C-alpha cells in the first residue's frame, strides 16, 4: 500500500528482504531517505538494528520509522516516526519533511 502510493507520488521505492541488502544499497547509491517498518512482534530488534546501522554508516541519511509501538517514538536512529495505522500521504509528508530538514542542515 505505501510503496504504490509513494511511487505514484514520484518517489523511487526500493524494497529489501534483509538487513544487509538495505544497508549496502544505502551506502552504494543515491538514497535520499530510508523508511524502516517496525513490525509488531516480540523480537523487533532486527528492524531497529537496520535503522541504527544505517545511521552509523550514513549519519546524514534521514530515517523514518513506521511503527505501532509508542516506545519507538524516541529511537535514537530515527529522524521522524510515523505511528501506524497511518495514511500513505502522512508517510509521504514525513519523508518530504525529513529530507528537507536534512538538506537545510548541510
Give the SS3 label for residue 66. strand
Report the distance separating Cα 102 and Cα 81, nearest Å. Answer: 15
pLDDT tens string 32-51: 888 988 877 666 667 888 88
Q: What is the CATH number of the domain that holds 6?
A: 3.40.50.2300
Alpha helices in the chain (DSSP H): 2-8, 19-28, 45-57, 88-104
Question: What is the domain count for the chain?
Answer: 1
Report the distance separating Cα 77 and Cα 50, nearest Å. Answer: 9
pLDDT tens string 41-91: 666 667 888 888 888 888 888 999 999 989 888 888 899 999 999 999 999
Residue 30: which domain range?
A: 2-104
Amino acid at each position: 500500500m505505501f510503496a504504490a502510493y509513494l511511487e505514484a507520488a514520484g518517489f523511487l521505492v526500493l524494497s529489501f528482504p534483509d538487513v544487509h541488502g538495505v544497508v549496502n544499497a544505502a551506502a552504494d547509491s543515491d538514497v535520499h531517505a530510508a523508511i524502516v517498518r517496525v513490525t509488531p512482534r516480540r523480537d523487533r530488534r532486527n528492524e531497529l538494528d537496520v535503522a541504527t546501522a544505517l545511521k552509523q554508516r550514513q549519519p546524514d541519511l534521514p530515517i523514518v520509522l513506521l511503527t505501532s509501538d509508542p516506545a519507538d517514538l524516541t529511537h535514537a536512529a530515527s529522524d521522524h516516526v510515523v505511528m501506524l495505522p497511518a495514511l500513505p500521504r502522512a508517510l509521504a509528508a514525513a519523508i518530504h519533511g525529513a529530507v528537507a530538514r536534512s538538506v537545510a542542515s548541510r
